[in-house]
Structure 1
């Protein structure tokens, strides 16, 4: 990937993640921050399920969106921010597990538009199981009041 390093992106991502009340609400934690890759994990909680007792698609989508968005943060300048402008989620398998891992990776960096792909996994006793994938488009935002890192 030909992407320029962007200062202390790890600390900017940690601080921004800490301000995301939605991630706090679902019990998500930032577990990996690298250039172009971010992982978010959360434990199973019955409060996050739908009527069949599996992780709700909205929770899966929110976690994938955040993982992809923060992966985009890792490849932009320190004075810019990110807003998701489009995403598509494929739900591949029921969200059953003790924990869930959501990984966002940059597919196409850019100065104005960034494309990221995400994968969601259910983790139990055996190997991690792919439960969802996402492709998202993020817009790099600069100089807009109220939208900062």
Structure 2
């Protein structure tokens, strides 16, 4: 994977994640930041469920989008930012668990467009269970007023 000089991408991602009110609202935490890969975790909360008591698809999509977006952020130059321009989510199993893990990984880096894949896991007793996958397309933003880091 070829990428631009990303400087201290971990600090930039942690700072940017800290400004993301949506992730704070759902109780999500940034738990792992690597070059080209980010993990976000959150505990189960009944306030985030749908009518059957399982994690709402919109919450899953939001957390996967953030994981993929920050993975993309890890491979761009420090003066640029990222915006999601498209994603598709496959919901494969009900979101039942004590905790949830959302992993975003870069599939195809680029200078303008980046493709990332995400996986969501439910964690309880026993092995983690894959509950959803995402493919997302991110656009690298440079020099746009109001959109930085």
After TM superposition, the score normalised by the length of structure 2 is 0.99
> Are the aligned partners of 1:43 and 1:100 in contact in 2 as well (CA < 8 Å)?
yes
Task: Measure, in 2, the Cα distance between the counterparts of 1:78 and 1:53.
Answer: 41
Query: Which residue matches 2:135?
Result: 135
Aligned equivalent of 2:56: 56
- Helix, strand or coil for the counterpart of 1:68? helix
Matched residues, number: 149
Instruction: Determine if contact 1:88/1:134 at 8 Å carries over to the other structure.
Output: yes
Structure 1: gaps of 5 or more residues:
none
- Matched with 2:98 is 98
Deviations 1:26-82 (A, max 9, x none): 000000000000000000000000000000000000000000000000000000000
- Structure 1 counterpart SS, 2:111: coil
Task: Name the structure 1 match of 2:6.
Answer: 6
CA distance in 1, matches of 2:105, 2:98: 23
Q: Which runs of 5+ in 2 are unaligned?
A: none
| CA displacement at 1:3 relative to structure 2 | 2.6
- 1:138 deviates by 0.1
**Alignment partner, residue 23 of structure 1:** 23
CA distance in 1, matches of 2:81, 2:2: 20
Structure 2 match to 1:68: 68
> For 2:148 and 2:4, how far apart are their aligned partners in 1?
20
Give the TM-score of the pair, scaled to structure 1: 0.99
Q: Residue in 2 aligned with 1:82?
A: 82
Task: Determine whether 1:145 maps to 2:145.
Answer: yes
